[in-house]
């Protein structure tokens, strides 16, 4: 009878440490890891100015040889000197521009409350087969008549923290803060010109209060306006609260910004979107080279695997599509960490077709503001017809459709044993 073998990660870690230290003089190891404050390099104050002259200055400060510096500048700086000024306000200590190729997936047919049409979707990536996989999923969804996509809610949080002498003081502050919702809305409107504050939710922990302030994000994913509104609210509290805090902070780390967490999964951060489609069995067989039952079976196994692994939600690879889409369209790429939570679902219908859906509680995208105004990113948005005011919800619905396409494609690849083959080097052009 065979034996069940389970990985012992503690033993594995101990073995690594043993291999790393075995045969070494521990005094030498300790000396190697000590701080060294001799011959410290000169570190400048930095500069927010984006220009060719400032880039040249930063290069010289790096202390490289002239030959080596010129070699690197020819790749990062020289071809882009004329366009550098476009990045003013988006980067500091500029030394050049990074090239990232952009591929297109689709067109993807989206039948949404805001997005209606066939959308070519730009994806910025250097990962081979990523665009091809999403393209395949887009084609299948489109052949099925498109995907339904709906923004269910919209809200982004900032959570200032307040520390009081005692829990009694904290509770008194909460009682007062609950009466100030209208004043907080008034401050928000005065500061950013929009009445976007929707919820004020206090949480007491010991002698501290976490004040979760939720704002509608609308067309912009930028938090600059929200940050200014929170600063204004905190200033008002410092002046008017009958129980003054010993200290306060503009963000308490409760909001879940730029990291995966259950608050993002259940409460959402950004736009909560669902996309779904029914794929005819014949389309699955012909274009995905697998079967509807095989895909549903694999989805079930992988969902349990995600649970066993402690995943926040259960999905295949939201981060792949999100990162490539965010980078191409000028979103805050780091927000993909929070946006890549959610749930994929697949099941066979009574007719033998495949029902597939993605539930995305934290899609943080915008069609205005931030890097969406940069030339390349704006061009990608305009390619989809989703640049400018009034397009934020449609952009979120298209994003959800893209992720549904990616989930369909990767599950099909797993069941048809095509995943590894798609990552092999391409030796000739091929068309499925």
Domain CATH code at residue 218 = 3.30.70.420
Distances (CA, A) of 244 to 74, 171, 266, 284: 57, 12, 32, 63
> Domain for residue 368, yes or no?
yes
- In this structure, the answer to whether residues 130 and 80 fall within a common structural domain is no
Q: Does 353 participate in catalysis according to the annotation? A: no
Tell me if 28 is assigned to some domain. Answer: no
Same domain? 377 vs 304: yes
Where do we find the tokens 């959308």?
A: 119
Name the catalytic one among 83, 92, 118, 127: 127
Whether 148 and 59 map to the same domain: the answer is no
Of 249, 278, 307, the domain-final residue: 249
**Do residues 230 and 306 both lie within one domain?**
no
Query: Is the domain of 395 the same as that of 314?
Result: yes
> Domain range holding 137?
102-154+270-422
**93 located within any domain:** no
Q: Is residue 5 in a domain? A: no
In this structure, are 313 and 399 located in the same domain?
Answer: yes
Query: Active site includes 169?
Result: no
Could you identify the residue written with the tokens 């080279």?
289
Same domain, 125 and 167: no
Within 13 Å, how many C-alpha atoms sit on residue 406's CB side?
26
Cα distance between residue 255 and residue 319, in whole Å:
20
Do 301 and 198 share a domain, yes or no? no
Nearest-angstrom CA–CA distance, 65 and 3 = 60
Taking the C-alpha atoms of residue 351 and residue 328, their distance in angstroms, rounded to an integer, is 39
Does the residue 4 lie in any domain? no
Classify strands 313-314 and 354-363 as parallel, antiparallel or unpaired.
unpaired
Q: What is the pLDDT along the chain (432 residues), one digit of tens a residue?
A: 444 444 555 566 777 877 788 878 888 888 888 898 988 888 888 889 998 888 888 888 888 888 888 888 888 888 888 888 888 988 899 888 888 999 999 899 999 999 999 999 999 999 999 999 999 999 999 999 999 999 998 888 889 999 999 999 999 999 999 999 999 999 999 888 777 888 889 999 999 999 999 888 888 776 788 888 899 999 999 999 999 999 999 898 887 777 676 665 666 678 999 999 999 999 999 999 999 999 999 999 999 998 888 887 888 899 999 999 999 999 988 888 888 889 999 999 999 999 999 999 989 898 998 888 888 999 999 999 999 999 999 999 999 999 999 999 999 999 986 544 555 555 444 444
Residue 296 vs residues 48, 333, 355, 406: alpha-carbon distances, Å: 52, 31, 9, 15
| Residue from 154, 332, 353, 407 carrying the catalytic annotation | 332
3-class secondary structure, 107:
strand
- What is the total count of domains within the chain? 3
Q: Is residue 73 part of a domain?
A: yes
Contact (Cβ atoms closer than 8 angstroms) between residue 124 and residue 185: no
Identified catalytic residue from 16, 92, 423, 432: 423
Query: Are 212 and 275 in the same domain?
Result: no
Do 138 and 175 lie in one domain? The reply is no
Number of Cβ atoms within 10 Å of the Cβ of 103? 16
Active site residue 332: yes
């Amino acid at each position: 009878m065979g034996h069940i073998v389970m990985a012992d990660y503690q033993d594995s870690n101990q073995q690594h440490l043993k291999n790393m230290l075995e045969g070494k003089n521990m005094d030498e190891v300790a000396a190697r890891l000590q701080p060294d404050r001799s011959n410290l390099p000169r570190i400048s104050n930095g500069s927010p100015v984006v220009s060719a002259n400032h880039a040249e200055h930063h290069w010289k400060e790096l202390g490289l040889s002239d030959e080596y510096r010129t070699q690197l500048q020819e790749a990062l700086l020289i071809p882009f000197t004329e366009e550098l000024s476009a990045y003013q306000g988006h980067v500091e200590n500029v030394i050049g521009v990074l090239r990232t190729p952009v591929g297109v997936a689709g067109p993807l047919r989206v039948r949404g409350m805001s997005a209606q049409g066939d959308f070519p979707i730009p994806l910025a990536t250097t990962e081979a087969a990523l665009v091809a996989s999403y393209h395949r999923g887009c084609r299948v969804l489109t052949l099925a008549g498109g995907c339904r996509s709906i923004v269910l809610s919209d809200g982004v949080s900032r959570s200032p923290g307040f520390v009081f002498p005692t829990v009694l003081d904290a509770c008194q502050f909460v009682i007062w803060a609950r009466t100030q919702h209208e004043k907080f809305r008034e401050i928000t409107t005065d500061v950013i010109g929009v009445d976007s504050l929707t919820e004020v939710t206090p949480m007491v922990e010991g002698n501290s209060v976490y004040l979760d302030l939720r704002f509608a994000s609308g067309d912009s994913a930028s938090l600059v306006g929200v940050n200014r509104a929170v600063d204004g609210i905190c200033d008002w509290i410092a002046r008017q609260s009958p129980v003054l805090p010993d200290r306060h902070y503009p963000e308490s780390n409760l909001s879940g910004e730029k990291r995966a967490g259950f608050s993002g999964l259940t409460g959402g951060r950004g736009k909560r979107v669902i996309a779904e489609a029914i794929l005819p069995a014949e389309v699955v067989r012909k274009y995905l080279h697998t079967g509807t039952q095989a895909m549903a079976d694999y989805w079930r196994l992988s969902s349990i695997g995600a649970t066993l692994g402690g995943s926040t939600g259960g999905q295949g690879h939201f981060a792949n599509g999100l990162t490539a889409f965010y980078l191409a369209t000028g979103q805050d790429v780091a927000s993909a960490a929070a946006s890549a939570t959610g749930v994929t679902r697949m099941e066979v219908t009574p007719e033998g077709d495949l029902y597939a859906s993605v539930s995305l509680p934290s899609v943080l995208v915008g069609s205005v503001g931030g890097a969406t105004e940069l030339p390349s990113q704006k061009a990608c948005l305009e390619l989809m017809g989703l640049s400018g005011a009034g397009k934020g919800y449609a952009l979120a619905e298209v994003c959800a459709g893209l992720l549904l396409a990616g989930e369909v494609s990767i599950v099909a690849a797993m069941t048809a044993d095509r995943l590894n083959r798609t990552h092999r080097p391409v030796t000739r052009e091929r068309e499925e």
